[in-house]
Amino acid sequence: MVVRFFAVAAAVVLTTAAAAAAAAQSPSPTDSARVVLLGTGTPRPNPEASQAATAVVMGQRVFLVDAGAAVMRQLAAAGLPVNGVSALFLTHLHTDHTLGYPDLVLTSWVMGRRTPLEAYGPRGLRRMTDHLLAAWSEDIAIRTNGLEREAPGGYRVAVHEIRAGVVYDSGGVRVTAIPVQHGEWRDAFAFRFDTPDRSIVISGDTRPSAAIEQAARGVDVLVHEVYPETRLAPEQRPGGEHWPDYMRAFHTSDVELGRLAAAAQPRLLILSHIVRMGGTDAELLAGVRSGGFTGRVVIGRDLERY
């Protein structure tokens, strides 16, 4: 009887442990995906709008899209983990989307990360990563071997150079890379996140894109870059005569975004990475409306959650 009791008890413990392990790998019904705007600005230094960074948060997991300057500070300000995100997705390798990348890699290690940072991005990301780690090789050696005794190898990055299609699928989160046109960049992507309760598309930098329109049809949230069409004009600086051509080749105006959203019909359109050129919120909203979108629109601000 005693032997049988302990055998049954052991079976119950094992079954419970197995169930707990399975639960840890599966999304909880309470793990609703949320968008956190960490950086809604541009290369222009702006204390009120940090460079490009958007988090998709699901339960305890944080998925980061782009890592502009101050991304670690913004993660801390948002109350999100500073010891490493679940995965990083880079839309392209412009500086205002990557200046925070070495900070993310190295500071998250100093804050306790012990496993490789999973980083997904275009061709060139591996080379960039290798050079960054080489640039801080003395820091890494001293932090590892000196009195700080940081976790050996905790600074490592698992680089995934991606192409169009599903690039991540784990624990109820599927991420699809969507190729977009961003001027002369040979590789630039938008990303679509599909979770058990929400669908989210983040445009990255792009001119109007039929691929994004298709990917964003009926999604819960579309986060899209924008500039005010009425403000576009040559600038008084060397090369400034090409500014309108640059913006049309690399970016999306408020009117163009209104047309795209009218076709895609997202439940919520968030304007982010805003090249304002002096434009106001009212002007941006009017431009989106003139493009034909009548749904819910918000002008994104740093640290807002949706």
Q: Which residues form the catalytic set?
A: 96
Is the CB of residue 229 less than 8 Å from the CB of residue 263? no
**Do 86 and 65 meet the contact criterion of CB atoms below 8 Å apart?**
no
Q: Biggest alpha carbon distance in the chain?
A: 91
The 157-161 sheet, strands edge to edge = 34-39, 53-58, 61-65, 87-89, 117-121, 157-161
Main-chain dihedrals φ then ψ at residue 29, nearest 5 degrees: -55, -25
Token pair recorded at residue 258: 């209104």
Neighbours of 300 (CB within 10 A): 22
- Summarize the chain as % helix, strand, coil (round to 5): 35, 25, 40
Angle at 280 between CA 213 and CA 99, to 5 degrees: 65
